[in-house]
Chain A
Amino acid sequence: MLVPFLLVLIGLGVVAGFFGSLLGMGGSILLVPMLILLMGDFLPIQAAIATGLVCVIASSSSAAGVYVRRGWVDVRLGMLLELGTVAGAITGALVVTLLSATAVEVVFGIFLLGAAVLMWRRPPREAEEVADTIPDYRARNYPLGLGVCTLAGSVSGMLGIGGGPVQVPLMYLGMGVPLKIAAATSNFIMGVTAAAGALLYYGRGDVVVAVTAPLVLGVFLGAQVGSRLAGRVHSRWVHGLLILVLLGLAALLFAEAAGFTAPWRGGQ
């Protein structure tokens, strides 16, 4: 009983870590809804969110260590924007205690729909992603950056995901930061943001070690495989697949919120 349980959790983590690293958006956006839908009967929604945040720290720390060494992270900008994301994550982690599980499912479903629409409208920029040279730049619009990062942090603390889908476009389009630097700096920020939220969940007793540990291990493994395959996999296919998965998860969350229980949990 124990070994299959551990293998399923590690497998879920591998899937989330693999796609998260392949697409640079963090695996928790897939992992948290999967946990809610598959294990909602015995894993409270706040425990699923806490697990998502710990997985964000895992994927962020291992990748950011490499990005910092390569000089892709704007450390000064990241440290400043972290003030906003940390404040937001704490607020989000506190606010979520006031919401019902159904409300969190609906908010998550809306977020997934929004992410799917954004991805559909903005196909992968392969040429820019692989560019080796980083142009000179000077970040601008700091007040806008801090404000939006506070919002991204609160979404992270409330839903257990990284703030990448908000932070990268903000830095790239709103603050004039090159895309590669924006993606790496966003990854760098995510670790501290997620830690701010995760520590609150931990303090409230929402971290279930037996579930979180194998999932984090799976995310580590999946992220390693994903980062090695990133150059070889056709990113448009992965992009399209992820849009479908996000839409499917959103639909299932809305169904769950409306009272339909998934067949694998004994529903009709």
Chain B
Amino acid sequence: MSAAPRGIAFVLRWGSYVSALLLGAGVLWVATAADVPIQAGPAMPLRALAGQLAERNPYALMQLGLLLLLATPLVRLLIAAAAFARRREWRQALAPLAALALIVASVLLVRGR
């Protein structure tokens, strides 16, 4: 197996394992804590996440797991682009970078509204 598939497989497997671990820990924490209410609203802003983790908010741990899961496919795009670029397969490297650019542009567009 060449370097690109190996790196991609590594990111996909460990990204999903670690996010599942964080989600599981967060769910278990909520289930066993006596004083945690159901947080039915939207996800907390990213800038508040670190503070909420420091304040031992289990929903912040769950959100960290979800964010890691969302980031996993994007990291695999970067790894694929880097692997193809290292082999000087520029056209092949362009495809994942273009997909990533589309995703980033759309997120910025929605955030700007």
- A contact set with B: CB distance below 8 Å: 1-3, 5-6, 10, 42, 54, 57-58, 60-62, 64-66, 68-69, 71, 73, 75-76, 79-80, 82-83, 86-87, 90, 93-94, 191-192, 194-196, 198-200, 202-214, 216-217, 220
A209→B73 CA distance, assembly (Å): 19
Complex contact A209–B62 (CB within 8 A): yes
Asked if B102 and A196 make an inter-chain contact with CB atoms under 8 angstroms apart, the answer reads: yes
- Could you tell me if B62 and A200 are in contact, using CB atoms closer than 8 angstroms? no
* Listed A/B pairs (28) with beta-carbon separation below 8 Å: A2-B30, A5-B38, A6-B27, A62-B12, A62-B13, A62-B17, A65-B9, A65-B12, A75-B8, A79-B95, A86-B102, A90-B102, A90-B103, A191-B72, A191-B76, A194-B73, A196-B106, A198-B70, A199-B70, A203-B110, A204-B110, A205-B43, A212-B66, A213-B65, A214-B27, A216-B65, A216-B69, A220-B16
In the assembled complex, the Cα of A209 lies from the Cα of B38 at a distance in Å of 10
CB distance from A4 to the nearest CB of B (A): 10
Within the complex, what minimum Cβ distance (angstroms) separates B3 from chain A?
A: 11
Contacts of B96 in A (CB 8 A): 79, 82
* Distance (whole angstroms) from the CB of A69 to the closest CB of chain B: 4
Docked complex Cα distance between A214 and B59 (Å): 11
Chain A residue with minimal CB distance to B39? A210
- In the bound assembly, the distance between CA atoms of A87 and B102 in angstroms comes to 7
B residues 1-27 with Cβ under 8 Å of A?
Answer: 1, 4-6, 8-13, 15-17, 19-20, 23-24, 26-27
Find chain A residues with CB under 8 A from B110 CB. Answer: 200, 203-204
Q: Which of chain A's residues has its CB closest to B24's CB?
A: A217
Contact A195 B103 (CB under 8 A): yes
Interface check B82, CB cutoff 8 A: no
- B39 and A209 contacting across the interface, CB-CB below 8 Å: yes
Q: Which listed residue, A3, A64, A207, touches B43 by the CB 8 Å rule?
A: A207
A246, chain B: closest CB distance, angstroms:
26
Residues of B whose CB lies within 8 Å of any CB of A are 1, 4-6, 8-13, 15-17, 19-20, 23-24, 26-27, 30-31, 36-44, 59, 62-63, 65-66, 69-70, 72-74, 76-77, 80, 92, 95-96, 98-99, 102-103, 106-107, 110-111
- The 4 A-B residue pairs with the shortest CB-CB distance, nearest first, are A65-B13, A65-B12, A205-B42, A213-B62
Tell which of A69, A73, A195, A200 touches B73, judged by Cβ atoms closer than 8 Å: A195
Distance of A61 Cα from B5 Cα, bound (Å): 13
A122 → chain B closest CB, angstroms: 29
Q: Closest Cβ of chain B: how far from A48's Cβ, in Å? A: 14
Complex CA gap A38/B103 in Å reads 31
Knowing that A66-B9, A195-B72 touch, tell me 7 more A-B residue pairs with CB under 8 angstroms: A2-B38, A65-B13, A196-B106, A204-B110, A205-B43, A207-B43, A216-B23
Q: CA–CA, A252 to B45, complex, Å?
A: 36
User: Given that A2-B30, A75-B4, A205-B43 are known contacts, is A192 also in contact with B99, CB under 8 Å in the complex?
Assistant: yes
Docked complex Cα distance between A117 and B10 (Å)? 37
B110 → A minimal CB distance (Å):
4
Q: State the Cβ distance, B32 to closest chain A Cβ, in Å.
A: 9
A65–B70 CB distance below 8 A? no
- Is the Cβ of A58 less than 8 Å from the Cβ of B38? no
Give chain A nearest CB distance to B29 CB in angstroms: 11
B69 engages A57 (CB within 8 Å): yes
The closest CB in chain A to the CB of B45 belongs to A205
- For B103, the closest partner residue in chain A by CB is A196
